[in-house]
Amino acid sequence: MARSDKAAAVAELTDKFRNSTAAVLTEYRGLTVTQLKELRRSLGEDAQYSVVKNTLTKIAANEAGITSLDDLFTGPTAVAFVSGDPVTSAKGLRDFAKDNPNLIIKGGVLDGKALSADEFKKLADVEPREVLLAKLAGGMKASMVKAAATFQAPLTKFVRTADALRSKNEQGGAGTPAPVEAETAE
């Protein structure tokens, strides 16, 4: 590879590191070309899976301000650059690794923070964004309904009490004390 080609490759990888929400380093030794195509499909549209050269990728990561991955650039390495929801891509990687034990997740970065392979597997267990938003909206709605019921309770109690007194008076007022008449002074 000529020096200008290497510089262009480093610049492209640097841009990918900077523009991605997450980057996951994997070892793909033992995977066939067909399996790699299947892996790329399982990651979704928001991720790009690329086989990379360790030295050039390490330089690109350092230029992007990511130095926590330096120890992971050993052996055959491929990087999944995630531009969308990292949970979806993490699930795709986890599920593919279960079916294909040759894929090894080494680690990576998420929003500039280094994550280990175990932390990426935990990320895969998180529910999708839409589900979390629906749960949040449901929780907020429930608390508003509860507040409305609390505000309405005294009024409802008053109406019930007034209705009970009215019906008692209509039935003849049994048990109701007689009004006190003013005593006349003699």
Q: Mean pLDDT of residues grouped by 10 in the chain (186 residues)?
A: 84 90 90 89 86 90 87 89 86 88 89 85 78 81 75 78 87 58 53
Query: What are the helix and strand counts (H, E) for the chain?
Result: 6, 5
62 and 142 within one domain:
no
118 and 137 within one domain:
no
87 and 107 within one domain:
yes
162 and 78 within one domain:
no
155 and 78 within one domain:
no
For residue 181, being part of any structural domain is answered with: no
User: What per-residue confidence (pLDDT) applies to 5?
Assistant: 87
137 and 94 within one domain:
no
- Domain range for residue 100? 3-126
For residue 161, being part of any structural domain is answered with: yes
116 and 35 within one domain:
yes
Total domains, the chain: 2
User: What per-residue confidence (pLDDT) applies to 182?
Assistant: 53
145 and 79 within one domain:
no
Cα dihedral 153, 156, 161, 164 in deg (nearest 10): -140
User: What per-residue confidence (pLDDT) applies to 79?
Assistant: 92
d(CA 136, CA 130): 10
User: What per-residue confidence (pLDDT) applies to 186?
Assistant: 47
Please indicate, yes or no, whether the overall pTM of this predicted structure exceeds 0.85.
no
Strand ranges (E), the chain: 22-27, 47-52, 77-82, 104-110, 113-116
d(CA 28, CA 51): 9
d(CA 11, CA 94): 29
User: What per-residue confidence (pLDDT) applies to 175?
Assistant: 53
For residue 173, being part of any structural domain is answered with: no
Examine the fold and report which residue of 72, 101, 126 is the final residue of a domain before the chain moves on.
126
d(CA 32, CA 38): 10
